[in-house]
Amino acid sequence: MIRIQEEDFDLGDEYTALKKNSRSPGAIVTFTGLVRDLDGNEKITGMTLEYYPGMTEQSLAEIISEAKQRWRLDQIKVIHRVGKLVADDQIVFVGVSSAHREEAFLACRFIMDYLKTRAQFWKKETTTSGERWVDAKSSDRDSAEKWKQ
């Protein structure tokens, strides 16, 4: 299940829903990404997130589908926030349930690595010296590439 929304989400509610919707989960792994308050030494006061309605959902669905082909998983939930956020806000949630922890851990990490390099989201940071679009990081590309080996 995929949700792209401006509103915040509640980790407890998401965990409860994953547990309730899973058949016999031995493991639930969740990841939550937050807005950092520093980029290098510069203070980040806010962030605006843009996406491509239609295509972004499709890209996330493809990532989830690939995770399901690689591992035996039960439920998968991805939430990504868009619009205006401030430091410490929650941006992204990935929750995976599976019979075994190994698969849940791997799938959660895989989904995040691919989301960061394949899903159409763009961040614009507001700092004390103005606004700027965030550049894609080669470390994120390297993390995603590792899943191809």
CA distance 28 to 111: 14
CB-wise, 50 or 102, nearer to another protein?
Answer: 50
| Backbone φ and ψ of 40, nearest 5° | 65, -120
Residue 54 has what DSSP assignment? T
The burial of 71, by beta-carbon neighbours within 10 Å (0-12 exposed, 13-18 middle, 19 or more buried), is given as: middle
Min. distance of Cβ 17 from another protein in angstroms? 21
CB-wise, 3 or 118, nearer to another protein?
Answer: 118
Q: Which residues bind another protein (CB under 8 A)?
A: 33, 49-52, 54-55, 58, 80, 91-92, 112, 115-124, 133-136, 140
CB-wise, 3 or 124, nearer to another protein?
Answer: 124
CA distance 124 to 132: 5
93 in Cβ contact with 8 (< 8 Å): no
Min. distance of Cβ 137 from another protein in angstroms? 8
The three-class DSSP label of residue 114 is helix
Min. distance of Cβ 100 from another protein in angstroms? 25
Min. distance of Cβ 105 from another protein in angstroms? 17
CB-wise, 18 or 114, nearer to another protein?
Answer: 114
